[in-house]
Amino acid sequence: MEKYLGQEYPEEKRIEFLSDNCDSIEELGYSRRFSKDELNQKKEELANISITMNDIEIEKKDSMAYFKEKLKPLKETKGELLEHLKEKIEFVTEDCYKFIDYERKEVGYYNKQGELVYNRPIMPQEMQKTVFSINRQTGTDE
């Protein structure tokens, strides 16, 4: 069989020539080679799509960095809250009020709400009573 038929006719006439001279017309799937013009068109389309995809990837990266930065403080706060809920306590640093009980030989620290937050045995250097502690024991006010 010849490699090409009806090449001497233009496309419309070639279809008519092939149709008139064939035994039957059947639908058939096959691989068709691209022409040089079609290949160049596909390469140009691929280049354009690649450039567009690259632009979108850069935009996506910038957006992800923006959202990551926006989520960072929320994640930190969430972590702290989860830790507080888990432990049911929070460590705080604030002014506390120290009271010495010489009879029990104890020292107690109270927060501004009046809650005992820490107590310990009295230290030897704290055994010396002060004017304020004497007044507190006798109940005298000046």
Beta bridge partners of 101: 106
pLDDT at 52 over 70: yes
What pLDDT score does 30 carry?
82
Residues with Cβ within 8 Å of 137's Cβ and at least 6 positions away in sequence, in order, are 102
* Rounded average pLDDT over 62-72: 94
H or E stretch at 93: none
Question: 104-126: string of b/e by CB count within 10 Å (b at 16+)?
Answer: eeebbeeeeeeeeeeeeeeeeee
The dihedrals phi and psi of 49, each to the nearest 5 degrees, come to: -65, -40
What pLDDT score does 10 carry?
92
Please report, for the chain, the start and end positions of each structural domain, with discontinuous segments joined by +.
Answer: 97-138
Q: pLDDT by residue (tens digit) across 10-42?
A: 988 999 998 888 888 888 888 888 999 999 999
Closest to 68 measured CA to CA, from 76, 79, 80: 76
CB atoms within 10 A of CB 6: 14
**Could you tell me the two tokens for 40?**
């160049």
**Could you tell me the two tokens for 13?**
């006439």
What pLDDT score does 3 carry?
79
Q: pLDDT by residue (tens digit) across 80-130?
A: 999 889 888 878 889 999 998 888 999 999 998 898 999 999 998 888 776
